[in-house]
Structure 1
């Protein structure tokens, strides 16, 4: 090899190094060169976390490297179809938008077991847990107290150590401890004179951190806020707080499911306090509704099937068809991390995860 050829090779390598090095550093900092438009593009990322973990990820129908939890990096801005798959579990799919300089996060993906396990709960255990039925002794104690005090009331509701009622006339909300001798404590200042109790009994709904809501006989959902009831939504059939009373599910007489946020969310998708988001609508009535244990999915009965819907409203919502049920009551025991179903006079423990 002559000296001239060696010099040409050397400077060729130097030139290639000079051209490639900026590309390498640009890619490492999240940039992508679009040759079709001949300019640099700042890429984005998608973070995917699932329960159970270890699920495969398909990006636009192509298997991606790594399993959940996983960060998909160096993605051009745009929309991608993501599918999460794991053997023996239902798959999850959503169209995801990617934005430059940002990580789009899906941290609460839940994959229910394809064939959920139902375990019959014995009558003794069911009675001990006081599932679905208010403790008769405590209910009688509360009624006896109110009658002895000659209090005209409606909407009597029990908690573990308290009972709540609306005092007539005016329907002012009170609470009373079972164990002390103090007078009932007034919780609301404004009267609900517009409520017509001839249409039915108001339903008091209790949540953590002292949160209380109310469904009036006219089917208006009210929330107690600084000792005043304010309207949240009309034509409400049922509602319930999640474990931390940060959210309310709302089931309407028009066969819709909504989620009302009482506090801002700290992770994606971001929601502000007071935001009410629509989840789904059916042409036939929705039965029993309850929060799932992770507070990010909702269980409900529809057309004699137990179903689950995610509350992430980005793109379409994943709805999972779990198993056949009929006239089912659903109870979430957040302390024991168990879901119970009362189906055809039997109580079952529902398993949606493999142990």
Structure 2
């Protein structure tokens, strides 16, 4: 027979269990759980985006989603703080994998870079080219070609697959020189460079598909991009390399805004950030088309795509392997234009 005292104990115990369970449910609904140290910690989240539909996203070896045309990412909420292994895979592309830390009350964000395993390409022209330059705001690629004892500068228009023609003999003379180009800077519709003839400004007319050249008294400080520096379209991220040491750096230029996660996840005191160093010579670097968190780098005998995001290690993917390639990009196409062994070729990045 249950006594009144026993019933009282049962009631108190049931009430205590109810309070504990209700409190646990309340904390869980607010995004809290008990961690391994037996203390309360708030849940976080994870967001992974992909550039292509049909990509499969895995978290800790579990297939979470296959992306579609209208939904190219995965968001997982109510995750306990800790490290999570993310993997994005798609047939015909190199896999993207990264270990990301989910912190209390925070969403860890990452954007996968997908590079085709076998990039399709074709030779545009076999010539005696020795260098090329491009700019992310320009449609034009500048090519230096050796003709006998002289060099000449020509301008290729990728979207039309034509060369701009010189508008006069004077322009042809200024675009021909004996020594190497010692300095070069871009703007959208013109280029300024320095040769033994002095400072030359080459302007582009895309309506008539012509180029004109004249002597210039301007300073390189008036231009956003010089030979070893690159800026994003809004001039917020800066990328450059140091030729003597073959080091690559990235920096955040906006004073009133915090750097994005791919540049600075926690400690921003280390900016500018070194993201690459090689014992081989760097020929060129550029931001990957339509990306601010990935660069393209020509170093040694290859061209590669390299992540800026250093969480879990920076991933690097092969694009091209040859002798001593360099490359250029045009804002009007999705091709990369590679110069190697005096020949110009293009490869489709998508």
* Aligned-pair CA distance for 1:325: 2.2
SS, match of residue 141 in structure 2: coil
Q: What TM-score comes out, normalization by structure 2 length?
A: 0.64
- Relative to structure 1, the CA distance from residue 328 to residue 43 in structure 2 (aligned partners, 3 Å threshold; closer, same or farther) is same
- For residue 327 of structure 1, the aligned residue among 324, 337, 342 is 324
SS, match of residue 112 in structure 2: strand
SS, match of residue 331 in structure 1: strand
* Aligned-pair CA distance for 1:163: 5.1
Q: Which residue of 2 is the match for residue 44 of structure 1? A: 44
Q: Which has the higher contact order (CA 8 A, sep 6+)?
A: 2
- Relative to structure 1, the CA distance from residue 286 to residue 165 in structure 2 (aligned partners, 3 Å threshold; closer, same or farther) is closer
Q: Which residue of 1 is the match for residue 251 of structure 2? A: 260
* Aligned-pair CA distance for 1:273: 12
Please state if 1:269 is matched with 2:262. yes
Q: Which residue of 2 is the match for residue 56 of structure 1? A: 56
SS, match of residue 121 in structure 1: strand
* Aligned-pair CA distance for 1:109: 2.0
* Aligned-pair CA distance for 1:100: 0.6
* Aligned-pair CA distance for 1:55: 2.9
- Partner Cα separation in structure 1 for residue 77 and residue 348 of structure 2: 35
- Partner Cα separation in structure 2 for residue 290 and residue 297 of structure 1: 9
- For residue 281 of structure 1, the aligned residue among 277, 281, 285 is 277
Q: Could you list the per-position Cα deviations for residues 152-197 of structure 1 after superposition, in whole angstroms to 9, with x for gaps in the alignment?
A: xx847675644546799xx9x9979789xxx998655xxxxxxxxx
Q: Which residue of 1 is the match for residue 303 of structure 2? A: 306
Q: Which runs of 5+ in 1 are unaligned?
A: 1-10, 124-128, 147-153, 189-203, 216-237
- For residue 99 of structure 2, the aligned residue among 89, 95, 117 is 95
Q: Which runs of 5+ in 2 are unaligned?
A: 1-11, 67-71, 127-138, 144-153, 156-164, 176-181, 206-213
- Relative to structure 1, the CA distance from residue 336 to residue 184 in structure 2 (aligned partners, 3 Å threshold; closer, same or farther) is same
SS, match of residue 321 in structure 1: strand
* Aligned-pair CA distance for 1:311: 1.2
Q: What TM-score comes out, normalization by structure 1 length?
A: 0.63
SS, match of residue 51 in structure 1: coil
Task: Map 1:66-215; keep pairs closer than 5 Å.
Answer: 66-67=65-66, 69-106=73-110, 108-121=111-124, 131-133=141-143, 134-135=154-155, 137=166, 141=170, 155=183, 159=187, 161-162=189-190, 164=192, 211-214=223-226
* Aligned-pair CA distance for 1:47: 1.1
Q: CA contact under 8 A between 2:183 and 2:226: conserved in structure 1?
A: no
SS, match of residue 212 in structure 1: coil
- Partner Cα separation in structure 1 for residue 41 and residue 315 of structure 2: 32
Q: CA contact under 8 A between 1:54 and 1:69: conserved in structure 2?
A: no
Please state if 1:250 is matched with 2:274. no
* Aligned-pair CA distance for 1:145: 8.5
Q: Could you list the per-position Cα deviations for residues 89-113 of structure 1 after superposition, in whole angstroms to 9, with x for gaps in the alignment?
A: 111222222211111111x321111
- Partner Cα separation in structure 1 for residue 262 and residue 94 of structure 2: 22
- For residue 339 of structure 1, the aligned residue among 336, 339, 342 is 336
